[in-house]
Homo-oligomer: A and B are copies of this chain.
């Protein structure tokens, strides 16, 4: 089985790649080849028992997608995207990558024809939804994004479903919760602080909280996100019918609940490293974001989280990223 990962150098892409390389298989199939693409060079893994190619390119320039799918990968993980804050600040770039890039990829798959019908796993986002919301957003709630990023993801979902319906590919779109705790350096996502306020204190550093503690949001660990992607790549898509895009399960928590979990898991001294500095721009964006979901359908279709509580989310970070230790 040949697997192509677009956006392999991003946080989720790296985590997914590590897992696939470690497993050496996807579902019941041995992996025989992997292609890792990103606009910044993906890390070239060593000592793998099958060929792993890295491709550094902008996948949204004309012709790039054709090259990437020319060897007919069996499974394509499409994780490449301009994140929410950047897509809002740079209108053209967001539409070029998130809309045109996605469409060029799907069209490159389509025109191959001759029975080629890869599984395509697309990471959408809960940003397809826009306030006002019900208490918990159900599986049939409509898409009224309040950001260009969410608009572009919602369009990607529609294309994925139509191209799948027409038999050009076998797509599944998954709306990931905000990934928490996001490891590494902050990116331009407006949601970054949800992780900063946990990751930085655990590393002995101060973190800025730009919103109030009653802000509620929807979270899943990186471990859960990788699990969702693997399940989306291996599930029986017939069970999804024509409705190919799914809200993933997650945990709804307020910032106050996040910080309480941090105190319980790591102590008061760690939690005291969070500084309150309200930021009107961030608050304005976050105001329109979803807070809670009832992701019945994904659960029914076999998607499961790795965590039951926010304490688990923090423990997973300490286990997976910090070698079991934090700066007390």
Tell me the A residues contacting B by CB distance below 8 Å.
91, 130, 139-146, 148, 151, 154-155, 158-159, 161-162, 165-166, 242-243
Contacts and interface: CB of A to CB of B under 8 A. Distances in A.
Contact of A144 (B146, B155, B161, B166): B161
Given A130-B242, A242-B130, A162 B142 contact: no
Given A91-B166, A158-B155, A166-B91, A143 B143 contact: yes
Contacts of A139: 142
Contacts of A140: 141-142
A139 B144 CA distance: 11
A151 B159 contact: yes
Contact of A151 (B91, B148, B151, B161): B161
Nearest to A134: B140
Given A91-B166, A166-B91, A243 B161 contact: no
A140 B166 CA distance: 26
Given A130-B242, A151-B158, A158-B158, 4 more contacts: A139-B142, A141-B142, A143-B158, A144-B161
Contact of A242 (B142, B144, B161): B144
Contacts of A242: 130, 144, 146
A50 B159 CA distance: 43
A166 B151 CA distance: 12
B146 A143 contact: no
B166 A145 contact: no
A142 B162 CA distance: 15
A145 B158 contact: yes
